[in-house]
């Protein structure tokens, strides 16, 4: 199966456990990997035979901006499910959500969650 990788989708959002995260917000970064058959698009050079990934980038940015969840686990699951619901060409999706600046004392690293879902 073929893959399309979309990396470094950045957006500002309001998901977080702490009340200030839901008020002040923070930056998030999302990487998406899409499994689909691109052979027809490769042969015909026709965008209708593949996935126009611009809508996926827009969808991810909009979900990050408009969602107000307590847990990033819920946000990453929502992104993966939304992608699969909107395209029957995509057979599998992997979404990695990265929280670059976690408000945890004495922790300067990043937190990321990686989910993979299959079209049902």
In the annotation, is 85 catalytic? Answer: no
Per-residue pLDDT band at 95 (split at 50, 70, 90): very high
Of the candidates 99, 102, 55, which has an alpha carbon nearest to the alpha carbon of residue 114? Answer: 99
Burial of 97 (0-12, 13-18, 19+ CB in 10 A): buried
Q: Which domains does the chain have, with CATH numbers?
A: 2-118 (3.30.1130.10)
Q: Catalytic residue among 33, 65, 99, 110, which?
A: 99
What distance in Å separates the CA atoms of residue 112 and residue 29, rounded to the nearest whole number?
A: 9
Record the pTM. 0.94
Residue 40 has pLDDT above 80, yes or no: yes
> How far, rounded to the nearest angstrom, does the alpha carbon of residue 46 sit from its chain's CA centroid?
25
- pLDDT band at residue 39 using 50, 70 and 90 as cut-offs: very high
Please write the tens of the pLDDT for every residue from 7-28.
999 999 999 999 999 999 999 9
Environment class of 48 (CB within 10 Å of its CB; exposed 0-12, middle 13-18, buried 19+): exposed
């Amino acid at each position: 199966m073929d893959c399309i990788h979309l990396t470094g989708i950045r957006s500002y959002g309001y998901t977080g456990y702490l009340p200030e995260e839901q008020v002040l917000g923070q930056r998030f970064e999302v990487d998406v990997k899409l499994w689909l058959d691109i052979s027809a698009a490769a042969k015909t050079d026709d965008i209708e035979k593949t996935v126009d990934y611009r809508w996926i980038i827009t969808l991810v940015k909009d979900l990050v901006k408009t969602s107000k969840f307590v847990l990033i686990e819920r946000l990453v699951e929502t992104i993966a499910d939304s992608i699969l619901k909107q395209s029957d060409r995509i057979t599998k999706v992997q979404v990695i959500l990265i929280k670059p600046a976690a408000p945890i004392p004495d922790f300067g690293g990043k937190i990321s969650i990686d989910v993979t879902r299959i079209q049902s």
